[in-house]
Amino acid sequence: MTTSGGCVPARQQLATLVKDALGSLFPEDAGMEPLVAACTNKFGDYQCNNAMGIWSKIKGKSSEFKSPNAVGQGIAKALPSSPLIEKTSVAGPGFINIIVSSRWMEERIHKMLIDGLGSWAPSLGLKRAVVDFSSPNIAKEMHVGHLRSTIIGDSIAKMLEYCNVEVLRRNHVGDWGTQFGMLIEYLFNEYPNWDQNSEEHAVDKLQALYKSSKKRFDEDPLFKKQAQQAVVLLQGGDKRYREAWEQICSISRNEFDQVYNRLRVVLEEKGESFYNPYIPSVIKELESKGLVSESEGARVIHVEGQNIPLIVVKTDGGFNYASTDLTALWYRLNVEKADWIVYVTDVGQSLHFEMVFYAARRAGWLAADVKQLPKATHVGFGLVLGPDGKRFRTRATEVVRLADLLDEAKSRSEQGLVDRGREDIWEADELEQAAEALGYGAVKYADLKNNRTTNYTFNFDQMLDVRGNTAVYLLYAHARICSIIRKSGKDIDELKKIGSLRLAHENERLLGLHLIRFPEIIEDALADLLPNTVCEYLYNLSEIFTKFYSTCKVIGSSEETSRLLLCEAAAVIMRECFELLGITPLYRL
Ligand code: ARG
- DSSP track, 434-452: HHHHHHHHHHHHHHHTS-T
CA of residue 270 to ligand 1 center, whole Å? 12
- Please tell me the residue having the least CA distance from ligand 1 atom 8: 172
Tell me the torsion sign for CA atoms 583, 394, 403, 414. negative
Q: Decide if 342 contacts 156 (C-beta within 8 A).
A: yes
Instruction: Give domain status of residue 70, yes or no.
Output: yes
Tell how far the Cα of 142 is from the centroid of ligand 1, in angstroms: 12
pLDDT in tens, 135-165: 999 998 888 999 999 999 999 999 999 999 9
| 260 CA distance to ligand 1 middle (Å) | 17
Euclidean distance between CA atoms 484 and 567, whole angstroms: 8
> Does residue 321 lie within any of the structural domains?
no
pLDDT value at residue 31 = 82
- Look at the alpha carbons of 107, 111, 113, 116 in this order and tell me if their dihedral is positive or negative: negative
Which one of 130, 132, 135 would you pick to mutate in the ligand 1 pocket, going by the greatest count of ligand atoms within 8 A of its CB?
135
Q: State the CATH number of the domain containing residue 69.
A: 3.30.1360.70
| Ligand 1, atom 4: closest residue by C-alpha | 136
Q: Given 227, 245, 269, which residue is the final one in a domain? A: 269
Which atom of ligand 1 lies nearest, measured to the CA of 345? 7
Backbone angles phi, psi at 70, to 5 degrees: -65, -35
**pLDDT band at residue 333, thresholds of 50, 70 and 90?**
very high
- The boundaries of the domain holding residue 194 are 178-269
Count the neighbouring beta carbons within 10 Å of the beta carbon of residue 16: 16
> How buried is residue 222: exposed, middle or buried, by Cβ count under 10 Å (0-12/13-18/19+)?
exposed
Q: Are residues 90 and 185 in the same domain?
A: no
Would residue 367 count as lying in a domain? no
Contact 120, 13 (CB under 8 A): no
Q: Is position 316 within any domain?
A: no
Kindly state whether residues 96 and 196 are assigned to the same domain.
Answer: no
In this structure, the number of other CB atoms found within 10 A of the CB of residue 381 comes to 24
Q: Which of 100, 116, 134 is the last residue of a domain?
A: 100
* Atom 3 (ligand 1) nearest CA: 136
Average pLDDT, the chain: 94
pLDDT range class, residue 203, cuts 50, 70, 90? confident
Whether the per-residue pLDDT at 559 is higher than 50: the answer is yes
> Is residue 521 situated within a structural domain?
yes
Q: Are residues 94 and 186 in the same domain?
A: no
Q: Is 96 in the same domain as 182?
A: no
**Cα separation, 79 vs 24, whole angstroms:** 9
Q: Is residue 69 domain-shared with residue 208, that is, in the same domain?
A: no
In a domain, 260, yes or no: yes
Instruction: For ligand 1, pick from 310, 330, 345, 377 the residue to mutate: most ligand atoms within 8 Å of CB.
Output: 345
Instruction: Give residue 584 CA to ligand 1 midpoint distance, Å.
Output: 28
Indicate whether 475 belongs to any domain. yes
* Per-residue pLDDT at 5 exceeds 50: no
Looking at the CA of residue 321, tell me the nearest atom of ligand 1: 11
Element containing residue 166 per DSSP (H, E): strand 166-171
* Residue closest by Cα to atom 5 of ligand 1: 135
93 and 228 fall within a common domain: no
Cα 576 to Cα 449: distance, rounded to the nearest angstrom: 16
Q: How far apart are alpha carbons 284 and 348 in whole angstroms?
A: 29
Of 222, 245, 269, which residue is a domain's last?
269
Mean pLDDT over residues 475-485, rounded?
98
Report CA(186)–ligand 1 centroid distance (Å).
25
Integer Cα distance of 251 and 137 in angstroms = 12
**Burial class for 343, CB neighbours closer than 10 Å (0-12, 13-18, 19+):** buried
**Residue 18: what pLDDT?**
98
DSSP bridge partners of 364: none
Minimal CA–CA distance to 131: which of 174, 105, 108, 160? 160
The sheet with strand 292-295 has its strands ordered as 292-295, 298-301, 310-313
The predicted model scores a pTM of 0.96
The reply to whether 78 and 204 lie within a common domain is: no
**Into how many domains does the chain fold?**
3
Nearest CA to ligand 1 atom 7: 135
> What's the rounded mean pLDDT across residues 323-335?
98
- Pair 93, 209 in one domain: no
Of 124, 135, 132, give the one whose Cα is nearest residue 161.
124
Query: Is the model's pLDDT at 125 over the cut of 60?
Result: yes
Q: Binning pLDDT at 50, 70 and 90, where does residue 7 land?
A: confident
Residue 1 banded pLDDT, cuts 50, 70, 90: very low
Q: Tell me, yes or no, whether 85 and 206 share the same domain.
A: no
What pLDDT score was predicted for residue 3?
A: 42
Taking the alpha carbons of 65, 51, 28, 12 in that order, is the dihedral positive or negative?
Answer: negative
Tell me whether residue 329 is in a domain.
no
Q: What is the CATH number of the domain that holds 502?
A: 1.10.730.10
- Position 196 scores a pLDDT of 56
Phi/psi for 388 (5° steps) reads -85, 5
Cβ contacts of 492 within 8 Å, gap of 6 or more: 485, 564, 565, 568
C-beta of residue 141 within 8 angstroms of C-beta of residue 207: yes
- pLDDT (tens digit, 9 = 90+) per residue, 490-533? 999 999 999 999 999 999 999 999 999 999 999 999 999 999 99
> Mean per-residue pLDDT for 355-371?
97
What is the CA(155)–ligand 1 centre distance, in A?
A: 18
Which residue out of 268, 349, 381, 402 has the highest number of ligand 1 atoms within 8 Å of its CB and is therefore the one to mutate?
Answer: 349
d(CA 35, CA 480): 38
**Same domain for 86 and 187:** no
Pocket lined around ligand 1, Cβ cut-off 6 Å: 132, 135-137, 172, 174, 325, 328, 343, 345
Q: How many CA atoms lie within 13 A of 209 on its CB side?
A: 26
Q: What is the pLDDT of residues 407-439, one digit of tens each?
A: 999 999 999 999 999 999 999 999 999 999 999
Q: Which amino acid is at 288?
A: S
What is the end-to-end Cα distance of the chain in Å, rounded?
39
Cα–Cα dist 16/137, whole Å: 48
Q: Is the ipTM of this complex over 0.90?
A: yes
* Bridge-based pairing state of the strands 96-100 and 46-48: antiparallel
200 and 96 share one domain: no
